[in-house]
Structure 1
Amino acid sequence: MDIKDRFEQIYKAYSKPMFLYALSFLISEEEAEDVIQEVFVNFWKDNTYQKIKNEVTKTYLFRSVKNNCLNRLKKKDVLRDRLDLLREDIVEEEMMNWNDELIQEVENEIANMPEQTREIIQAVFFRDLKYQEVADQLGVSINTVKTLLKHGMKYLRERFSGRGDLFLLMVLVK
């Protein structure tokens, strides 16, 4: 039997079972066909079919299919991981831009508030002062601080309520 006949015989005997084996890893028929083709191309190109004994041909081919499939799956995982990281970076960047814009809008709205209300909101939320500390600094009662803070927050809620940013607004301001 010449070389070509031996190769054809091996191909006819093992290509279908190898295809089914590849499908058990890959699911995609096209990809399984690609694997079988790659295995046989390498089998031919490297003259492996001439170098190995008949008894180990089947083992060699099926092991090659398995390794090829696993390598493809690893590449897919790496690509999927890279794609996930890229998506996360894009979303994070968009969120940062969105947060910056929202913070700027909140700051603009706070700047439009009456002076004492603005001072109280800035002291409580941006400088983390306690109500009593704010009251002492401004020379007003703690009840005045609470009331003006309540009015300021109500104003902000009204300004941003229709946009769905309210929860984020509260987190950012707090």
Structure 2
Amino acid sequence: MGNNEEILLLFRKNEQQGFRLLYASFYDPLILFATQLLGDAEEAADVVQECFVDFWANRRFNSLRGSLENYLYSAVKHGCLNYLRNTRRREDKHDVIREELYDEEEGVDPELVEKLYRSMESLPEERRRILHMVCMEGMKYQEVADQLGVSINTVKTQMGRSLQFLRKALKTDDYLTLLFFLGKK
């Protein structure tokens, strides 16, 4: 019996021992594989860890058909591709915002940009994270809810509260500028 079958059998008998053997057998090779794809060992470790957690939390070992090794490498590859796509989307959004906010033809004052970012940084952590994901990363409310493990109503409520806070924190013209730029995203 190969190591892959042994891991799956152990998972079915004792999940913790199965996970330990899975980790010991595949963690380092998967990190190397993901690092080749991402070029960053720290990000690679995050992707591999997420794949392991998904494998265990969603009990993928119960329905796995075929090779465990093939499944893990495929899951890590897709995790890396998703990471790269999301990073690229986030960087593109940041570039667009930066260009628009600093475009002298638009007449946006760099002090206003600083004030907007300071106001957004003073939001509570969860609200700031949701505002960032929706406005800066361009994610839909349902995507944010799924990623954070909260309901879509929570995302809507937190967005409303974030915008309400920013409206109070900023002058009317500054808030309208913020809405203009966020609305274009």
Q: How does the TM-score come out when normalised to structure 1?
A: 0.50
Answer yes or no: is 1:10 the counterpart of 2:35.
Answer: no
| CA distance in structure 2 between the partners assigned to 1:64 and 1:84 by the alignment | 30
Offset of residue 51 of structure 1: 2.6
* Equivalent of 2:42 in 14, 22, 30: 30
1:47 to partner: Cα distance? 0.9
Contact persistence 1:23–1:32 (CA under 8 A): yes
Correspondence for 1:82: 93
The one-letter code sitting in structure 2 at the alignment partner of 1:11 is: Y
Change (3 A) 1:96 1:36: closer
Residue 21 (structure 1) aligns with: 33
What's 2:62 paired with?
A: 50
Distance 1:7 1:88 in 2: 47
Identity of aligned residues (%): 31
- Asked whether the 8 Å contact 2:100–2:106 carries over to 1, the reply is no
CA displacement 1:127-165 (0-9 Å, x = unmatched): xxxxxxxxxxxxxxxxxxxxxxxxxxxxxxxxxxxxxxx
Please give the alpha-carbon distance, in whole angstroms, between the structure 1 residues aligned to 2:101 and 2:17: 56
Structure 1 SS opposite 2:50 = helix
Distance 2:72 2:93 in 1: 31
Report the RMSD for the aligned CA atoms in angstroms. 1.9
Calculate the TM-score normalised by the size of structure 2.
Answer: 0.48
Equivalent residue pairs, number: 96
Distance (whole Å) between structure 1 residues aligned to residue 87 and residue 55 of structure 2: 24
Output the CA distance in 1 between the equivalents of 2:63 and 2:105.
Answer: 60
Partner Cα distance (2:44, 2:80) in 1: 8
The whole-number CA distance in structure 2 between the counterparts of 1:85 and 1:39 is 32
Residues 71-100 of structure 1: CA deviation (Å, up to 9, x unaligned): 0100111111111111221232x23439xx
1-10 or 61-70, larger mean C-alpha shift: 1-10
**Residue of structure 2 aligned with 1:68, choices 79, 83, 86:** 79
User: Does structure 1 retain, via aligned residues, the 8 Å contact 2:55–2:61?
Assistant: yes
* Larger-Rg structure: 1
Q: Does 1:95 align with 2:99?
A: no
